[in-house]
Amino acid sequence: MGDWWTPAIMPDPSSLDSKELSSISGITMSPSRQNSIRSLHSTITLPKHSYTVLSAFCTEENISQCVSYISQELCSLGLSGVCLEPSGVGEGLNPVAVINLLYELLQLHRRAQRTLSDLETQQLKSSSDLEHMHHCNSRLKDQLEHSRRENSGLHEGERQLQLKIKTLQNCLKSEKEEVQKLQSIIASRATQYSHDAKRKERECAKLKERLNQLLVDKRDKKLAIEMSNCVGRSDGKRGLWKTGKVEARHEGDMYKALLNDYEARQRALVQENSELKKVLQHMKKDMISILSPKKASGTNIQLPEDSLEQAGSDVEEDTCDSSREALEQSCELAREQLTNSIRLQWRRLKSHMEKLDSQASLAASQEEDVVSRREHEEEIQRMRLELQQCKDFIRTQQQLLQQQLSAPCDEETAALLEDCYNLEESERLKEEWRLFNEQRKNFERERKNFTEAAIRLGHERRAFEEDRALWLKNQFLNMTPFADRKRPAVSESHTALSVSTEPEAKLLSTPAPLTKSQSCSGFFTPKAAPARMPSTADLYRTLCLIPESSSSRTHGKRGNSGNQSNNTLTKSRLQTGLTDCSIYSLVGNENSPI
């Protein structure tokens, strides 16, 4: 800041009074305030016309003052002010020290600026942060306000709802009251209505009575029947006088009808009853028949119930006999007996069934696999037997077939024929053996020829290869200059190393043109590759081991392609470097991330 202020003051020192200056110098916090003021005063006192000279800070006259001032200032800045000690006034200034100082100052200045810029950016950042915070704050405030409003709205709603509830409750209460009132009204109306209805009906009845009376009294002339002659009764009998006898007869008829009906009904019921009884008997018999054999077989299965069942069976016998009579008895006792016995048996049957069920379920879980295994084994046995039978069958069939084939000739002729066959066969075998031996000999001869030819071929081949190598060597030696042969090797090493060396080269601040040439050479390597061929070692290698050379060639190609990419990379880097134009900035760039 101090550095900044001084030139600013310079332009119009007249307008500034000493007080202001002192205040400014106070701001600078320099320890040599007096000196600076003095120096300033001296500058102020300088005539106006020598403005260009005046504008300079240091003049011939005040050089020592300036030096001391600067030294002081530098001391205050914490720099080596000692080296600026005015050894000799005027020419005693050590230029190296001054330049160093200047450099240091510059550095300082730069650092300060950097820090300044950092601070500025920081400030900017913080200000933006602040802004953001402000925004956030305002937004949150808005939100808060909004939620408050919402809350109050909800409160209001709640209040209203409660009010509504209250009113509804009131309504309900009033409605209930209304309902009660209405019910009472309805009840009263109903009583009123029934009362009125009765009254009306009575009136009506009275009126009817009166009308009847009137009709009877009036002797309605019109009320009459006109008939040409009376008709006989439908049954052909004469009408009877109404007497007590007739009345009794009617009663009797009525009761007769009723009695008939009841009798018919009773008959139907008895029939139904007997049928049901029959069904019961049947059921009982069936039950007995079902249960009794079970007991015989069941004794070995269930023992705990045995005694009970034994007792039950006795009862059963009794009831069986008694119930047979009961059908005829048809009294309550018999019915009771029958139903009791049925009930007993039914219970037993039920328990038995339950037991059976449980047993069945148990057995099902236990025996299932056992049975299956047994079955399985049986099945296997059976199948084996069958197989055996089949084999036998086949054998016998074969025998029969052979017999049938050999059946036409006798046994003697068969033996004779067999001898003939043997002789013939031995003859044939001998012939074959001879042929075979001949063939073997031929083969061996051929083989020998072949090996000889192979050796000759190998010799020829070697000679040819030697010739070819010689010819190639000559050719290449004539074609390529010696210098050219070395260059690609260097470039190759460079390109191989390029990935690792590049940053180093940069750090070493290698000159741009050199790298460029290198990259260029690297770039041309694929074209230089055929030129590399004539080296004798390579030649031998290629001649001796063709697959290896091919693999190496592919390797080389791959390496070249990698070089290419690397080269392009370096090129781009270089271009960026060129645009920056300064090594420092580049260094700074390189350093900043570190």
Q: Which residues bind other proteins (CB under 8 A)?
A: 197-198, 201-202, 205, 208, 211-212, 215, 220-235, 239-240, 242, 246-247, 250-251, 253-255, 257-258, 261
Q: Could you give the residue ranges of the DSSP H alpha helices within 17-62?
A: 18-28, 33-45, 51-55
Residue 33, burial from CB neighbour count under 10 angstroms (0-12, 13-18, 19+): middle
- The distance of closest approach from Cβ of residue 231 to other proteins in the complex, given in angstroms and rounded to an integer, is 5
CB closer to other proteins out of 182 and 211? 211
Contact 560, 529 (CB under 8 A): yes
CB closer to other proteins out of 49 and 233? 233
- The distance of closest approach from Cβ of residue 338 to other proteins in the complex, given in angstroms and rounded to an integer, is 22
- The distance of closest approach from Cβ of residue 235 to other proteins in the complex, given in angstroms and rounded to an integer, is 8
Query: Which residue from 84, 119, 129, 88 is spatially nearest to 102, judged by alpha carbons?
Result: 84
- The distance of closest approach from Cβ of residue 223 to other proteins in the complex, given in angstroms and rounded to an integer, is 4
Contact 291, 352 (CB under 8 A): yes
- The distance of closest approach from Cβ of residue 274 to other proteins in the complex, given in angstroms and rounded to an integer, is 17
CB closer to other proteins out of 125 and 198? 198
CB closer to other proteins out of 213 and 451? 213
Contact 63, 23 (CB under 8 A): no
Contact 58, 84 (CB under 8 A): no
- The distance of closest approach from Cβ of residue 224 to other proteins in the complex, given in angstroms and rounded to an integer, is 5
Rounded CA-CA distance 328/321 in Å is: 12
- The distance of closest approach from Cβ of residue 209 to other proteins in the complex, given in angstroms and rounded to an integer, is 8
CB closer to other proteins out of 61 and 253? 253
CB closer to other proteins out of 48 and 233? 233
- The distance of closest approach from Cβ of residue 249 to other proteins in the complex, given in angstroms and rounded to an integer, is 9
Q: DSSP letter for 581, please.
A: -
Complete DSSP assignment for 81-144:
GGGG--SSTTT---HHHHHHHHHHHHHHHHHHHHHHHHHHHHHHHHHHHHHHHHHHHHHHHHHH
Rounded CA-CA distance 505/460 in Å is: 55
- The distance of closest approach from Cβ of residue 215 to other proteins in the complex, given in angstroms and rounded to an integer, is 6
CB closer to other proteins out of 257 and 420? 257
- The distance of closest approach from Cβ of residue 263 to other proteins in the complex, given in angstroms and rounded to an integer, is 11
For residue 167, the tally of other CB atoms under 10 A from its CB is 10
Rounded CA-CA distance 477/510 in Å is: 36
Residue 15 phi/psi, 5-degree rounding, is -70, -20
List Cα–Cα distances, 10 to 17, 19, 44, 48, in angstroms: 13, 16, 9, 12
Q: What separation, in Å, do the N-terminal and C-terminal C-alpha atoms of the chain show?
A: 30
CB closer to other proteins out of 272 and 354? 272
- The distance of closest approach from Cβ of residue 213 to other proteins in the complex, given in angstroms and rounded to an integer, is 11
CB closer to other proteins out of 224 and 405? 224
For residue 570, the tally of other CB atoms under 10 A from its CB is 19
- The distance of closest approach from Cβ of residue 234 to other proteins in the complex, given in angstroms and rounded to an integer, is 5
List Cα–Cα distances, 516 to 3, 345, 405, 572, 578, in angstroms: 44, 118, 102, 11, 12
Q: Which residue has the tokens 């400030």?
A: 123
CB closer to other proteins out of 144 and 268? 268
Angle between helices 332-406 and 244-298 (to 10 degrees): 40
- The distance of closest approach from Cβ of residue 176 to other proteins in the complex, given in angstroms and rounded to an integer, is 20
List Cα–Cα distances, 114 to 6, 117, 118, 125, 583, in angstroms: 21, 5, 6, 16, 18
Q: DSSP letter for 14, please.
A: T
CB closer to other proteins out of 227 and 594? 227
Half-sphere exposure of 354 (CA within 13 A, CB side): 6
CB closer to other proteins out of 250 and 558? 250
CB closer to other proteins out of 218 and 527? 218
